Each structure stands twice: as structure tokens, then as C-alpha cells.
Homo-oligomer: A and B are copies of this chain.
Amino acid sequence: MPPETRLDVLAIGDAVVDVIATADDEFLVEEGLVKGSMQVLDAAGATRLYARMSQARETSGGSAANTMAGIAALGGRAGFVGQVADDQLGEIFSHDIRALGVEFRTPPKSGGEPTGRCLILVTPDAQRTMNTFRGAAHELTAEALDPEQIRGAAILYLEAYLWRSAGPREAMEQAMAIAHAAGRKVAFTLSDIACIKPHRAEMIAMLEAGAVDLLFANENEIRELADLQDRDAAIAALQDKVPLIVVTCGAEGALAVARGERVSVPIARIGTGVVDTTGAGDLFAAGFLVGQAQGRNLGASLRIGAIAAAEIISHFGARPEADLKELVKSI
């Protein structure tokens, strides 16, 4: 039996500040952006796009960091490892994640890239198109890891956004080895289809090596990873490589597949409607992980995920605003 845990989930991910502005469809066309996608910008590209964006609001973001924020908001014990610079956006990121009760100890870096940011364009249909300048976030190295912190967390949670960079991937591989040696579980989210295609073979090899116990994906991502057009065929092709696969299916809801068992739930609805879908997948993962950490079954874990996702899309920004504990207490 592994010793007691100090954290439910410890994540390694991008430490970025979201810069959120509204935009119309024509703007996306003019800028050559694909709605709903995530692209990576260099410093010059980020400056150019920012100059053309309308007035923005800033909130702390990062996919895995949003998930940890959601876990803390749901009453879970969360930690986060990510790299910021020693600048104002780094201060904002560090303040916000700690203010939510997430353990965050990674020291800021001086003299390198500035803190990363994600320029998010929200169209009138509530879709978000993301343009990330990764900055310091991708300067994360294995030096930032604290083996004791990893061994003390029931689940290590990793995001493909950060994994696709060589330096951070090395850190993640060390972290996975430490977690498994301590008898802990490893969860991995596919993040975005753009992360998968260039790395499909390595990702499949990672799964076949047994490095991942729980895989999060949306429909497009699972199809991309399996290189199959049909969602269920894709899940079937992957399910012998991962003990638990969780797939979000947009308006259709979400499903979990574990050793032949398959459970699905519909979406949840909160408030007056969909304002901004930024963070929906991140918060779904938060709810599901909290359910698992509490020893709930797959159906209850999926339902907690669906409610957390519904809250986040009812307002701008990818961090919860309502009392998530209250929203899920009847599940």
C-alpha cells in the first residue's frame, strides 16, 4: 500500500496568463485563424496579433493550471508545477493560483523569456480561438521538480500542450517515473489536435509502455491519436493501452471507458447559457479527477465533471466563479 497522500492531484503544465477579447468571425478570417483551435505564436506574432485585438481582460490560465484551480474550488487538494518569469504577469499567475489554495512552489526564472500568455479570441458563438506565446512556460526543466511533492500526490496530471516541448517533456518523464515508483497514478490530457499529429508515434509508445493510467481527450483528439475517423473505433483501438479513457463529446456529453466498462453522461446546464467555452475541457477534467480522488464511481465522476464544465462556460474566463462545491454537493 502506498503511504498516505498529501495532495489529490499534482499537475505539470503551462503557466500562462489569458488575455481574452471578443472578436467577430471576419477578424479570424483576416488573421488566418482556425476557430476553436490553438496555435503557438512567437514573440513578434504575439505582439502583432495583440495590437489588432480589441480591449481585453486578463485572467490567469493554462490548461492544467485551470484544472488544478477547479480541483481546489471543488474542495480537492491540488498542486501545480509550471514556469513563470520574474515579471508582472508571473506575479499575477502566482497570486491567482495560490489564492485558490493550489500549492505552487516553482520559483520564477529571471533573465529568460517573459511569462507566457494566451491571446484568446471569443466569437459571438462563444467559441474560443487560442494563440499562445509560451514564453517562460516552456523553459521548465526537471530542476523544477520536487520528488517528495510528486510522491505525495495520488495522481500526477500532465498536459500535451507542455509535453510537446523537449525540455518540459524530459521533466514530465522523470515525474512519471517518480510517481509510478511511489505507486501513484499518472493522468495525461491530449490538450489539442495540433499537439498530437507531430507526436503520434511517441504518444502511442508512451501509452504502450504503460506510462499513463488515465487518458483525457475530446472526440477530435481521440480520433487523431488513433488515426481513425470513427470515435468509438478510436476508443476501441486504444483501450487496451490505457486502463481508463475519458472522452468529452461537446454537446453530447462525456464518456468513460475502463477495461470494457463504458459509462456516459449528458452535458449539464447552469445559468442563462453559453458565454465563453474557454476552459470547459479543463474544468471537466477537474471534476472527474475530484470524483476519482474521492473514490466515486465513473458515472458520478463524469457528472461532477459535467457540472464544473457547465459553470465555466456560463461566464468569461477559464477559472470558476460560482461555488463549485455547492453545485456538485447533490451528486
Tell me if A179 is interfacial: C-beta within 8 Å of chain B. Answer: no
Chain B, Cβ-Cβ closest to A88: B88
Count of chain A residues with a beta carbon within 8 Å of a chain B beta carbon: 25
Q: CB distance A57 to B88 under 8 Å? A: no
The quantity of this chain's copies bound in the complex is: 2
Instruction: Report Cα–Cα, A92/B115, bound state, in Å.
Output: 14
Contact string against B for A residues 193-224, beta-carbon threshold 8 Å, 1 for contact and 0 otherwise: 00000000000000000000000000000000
Which residue in B51, B95, B114 is a CB contact (below 8 Å) of A56?
A: B95
Which residue in B19, B55, B100 is a CB contact (below 8 Å) of A69?
A: B55
- List CB contacts (< 8 Å) of A68-97 with chain B: 69, 87-89, 92, 95-96
Instruction: Report Cα–Cα, A115/B92, bound state, in Å.
Output: 14
Contacts of A21 in B (CB 8 A): 99
Tell me if A173 is interfacial: C-beta within 8 Å of chain B. Answer: no
Q: CB distance A95 to B50 under 8 Å? A: yes
Which residue in B53, B58, B96, B115 is a CB contact (below 8 Å) of A59?
A: B58
- Among A19, A99, A100, find the residue whose CB has the most chain B CB atoms closer than 10 A: A99
Q: CB distance A114 to B96 under 8 Å? A: no
Q: CB distance B114 to A55 under 8 Å? A: no
Q: CB distance B317 to A57 under 8 Å? A: yes
Known contacts A50-B95, A95-B50; A55/B88 CB under 8 A: no
Instruction: Report Cα–Cα, A311/B212, bound state, in Å.
Output: 49
Instruction: Report Cα–Cα, A21/B88, bound state, in Å.
Output: 17
Which residue in B55, B100, B115 is a CB contact (below 8 Å) of A100?
A: B55
Contacts of A96 in B (CB 8 A): 55-56
Contacts of A319 in B (CB 8 A): 55
Chain B, Cβ-Cβ closest to A22: B321
Chain B, Cβ-Cβ closest to A317: B57
Tell me if A54 is interfacial: C-beta within 8 Å of chain B. Answer: yes
Which residue in B54, B58, B89 is a CB contact (below 8 Å) of A57?
A: B58
Known contacts A88-B89, A88-B114, A89-B88; A99/B53 CB under 8 A: yes
Instruction: Report Cα–Cα, A58/B87, bound state, in Å.
Output: 15
Tell me if A63 is interfacial: C-beta within 8 Å of chain B. Answer: no
Instruction: Report Cα–Cα, A116/B92, bound state, in Å.
Output: 14
Instruction: Report Cα–Cα, A114/B86, bound state, in Å.
Output: 14
Q: CB distance A99 to B55 under 8 Å? A: yes
Instruction: Report Cα–Cα, A119/B237, bound state, in Å.
Output: 52
Instruction: Report Cα–Cα, A53/B98, bound state, in Å.
Output: 10
Contacts of A50 in B (CB 8 A): 95
Q: CB distance B114 to A54 under 8 Å? A: no
Contacts of A317 in B (CB 8 A): 57
Hey, which bits of chain A sit against chain B, CB under 8 A? 19, 21, 50-51, 53-60, 69, 87-89, 92, 95-96, 99-100, 114-115, 317, 319
